[in-house]
């Protein structure tokens, strides 16, 4: 199964949009949409932290690779930065655009259906590139990073909030949100990721571990998802990932706690 099939096999964009409109007939804000459109470990607070790297005055052309349902894009727009979204899954792009119409804020983000291995952008045209739990779906990681290097301007930035292989990869359990099985998951160690970045021609590389915050967040989310007394939120990742999400959520906790995976932030810069 291809990556786009993994994400859209249980997704009906129009049905999801209708459920959002029914739950929030007067429109939904960022926090109300977050259980649906922030499909990554750490949720909207992790995105807030990631977006601290954006400067509306300097970063006028920013690319979000693997933009998914568009939560990061709408959150950036609220800060005055309009992102260009790129995702290989066309139905996620349809959902992203539909959620823009459900959102109470102003947003005018272009969204492209495309493959990060062959970015449909001109050389040296982008100020900053964001990855948020999308690089882990890229089978030829070096090709993707070389494409990033090509489209970034001199002195351009690369910022990643990503899952990497931990010290106990043998403990990994599937399914997880980004992969039904190991053939769809392309995790590197942080050491290997640093080496790939250097090989692709970027420098000033820094890595920061967010794993403990990720574990704490995922435990809280699992408690909400499995509680029989707590009022359920009207929106959920299960609206995209289907019944598989219950097992995915439990496996994320196991994989983080066992050291099968870690969550890191990476920043790097092109020469110039």
pLDDT, one tens digit per residue, over 14-38 is 999 999 999 999 999 999 999 999 9
In this prediction, residues 206-216 reach a mean pLDDT of 93
Residues 160-195 have pLDDT tens digits of 999 999 999 999 999 999 999 999 999 999 999 999
Residues 225-248 have pLDDT tens digits of 777 766 678 999 999 999 999 999
Strands, sheet with 203-209, edge to edge from the N-terminal-most edge strand: 111-113, 83-87, 62-65, 126-132, 152-165, 261-269, 203-209
Q: Could you tell me which residues come within 8 angstroms of residue 78 by beta carbon, excluding any fewer than 6 positions away? A: 30, 105
Q: How far apart are CA 107 and CA 104, in angstroms?
A: 9
Q: What's the chain's average pLDDT? A: 95
Q: What pTM did the predictor assign?
A: 0.95
Residue 104: name the closest of 201, 21, 8 by CA. Answer: 21
């Amino acid at each position: 199964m291809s990556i786009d099939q993994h994400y859209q096999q249980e997704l009906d964009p129009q049905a999801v949009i209708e459920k959002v409109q029914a739950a929030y007939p007067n429109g939904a804000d960022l926090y109300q949409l977050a259980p649906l459109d922030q499909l990554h470990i750490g949720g909207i607070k992790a995105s807030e932290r990631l977006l601290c790297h954006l400067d509306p005055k300097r970063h006028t052309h920013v690319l979000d690779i693997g933009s998914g349902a568009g939560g990061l894009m709408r959150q950036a727009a609220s800060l005055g930065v309009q992102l260009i979204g790129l995702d290989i899954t066309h139905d996620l792009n349809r959902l992203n655009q539909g959620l823009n119409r459900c959102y109470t804020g102003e947003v005018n983000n272009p969204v492209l259906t495309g493959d990060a291995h062959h970015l449909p952008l001109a050389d040296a045209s982008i100020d900053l590139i964001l990855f948020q739990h999308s690089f882990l779906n890229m089978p030829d990681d070096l090709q993707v990073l070389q494409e990033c290097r090509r489209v970034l301007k001199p002195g351009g930035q690369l910022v990643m909030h990503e899952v990497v292989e931990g010290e106990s990869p043998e403990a990994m359990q599937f399914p997880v949100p980004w992969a039904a099985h190991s053939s769809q998951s392309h995790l590197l160690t942080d050491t290997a990721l640093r080496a790939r970045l250097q090989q692709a021609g970027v420098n000033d590389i820094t890595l920061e571990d967010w794993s403990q915050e990720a574990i704490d967040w995922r435990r809280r989310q699992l408690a909400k998802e499995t509680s029989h007394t707590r009022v359920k939120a009207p929106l959920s990742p299960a609206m995209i990932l289907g019944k598989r999400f219950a097992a995915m959520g439990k496996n994320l906790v196991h994989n983080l706690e066992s050291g099968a995976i870690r969550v890191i932030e990476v920043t790097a810069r092109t020469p110039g």
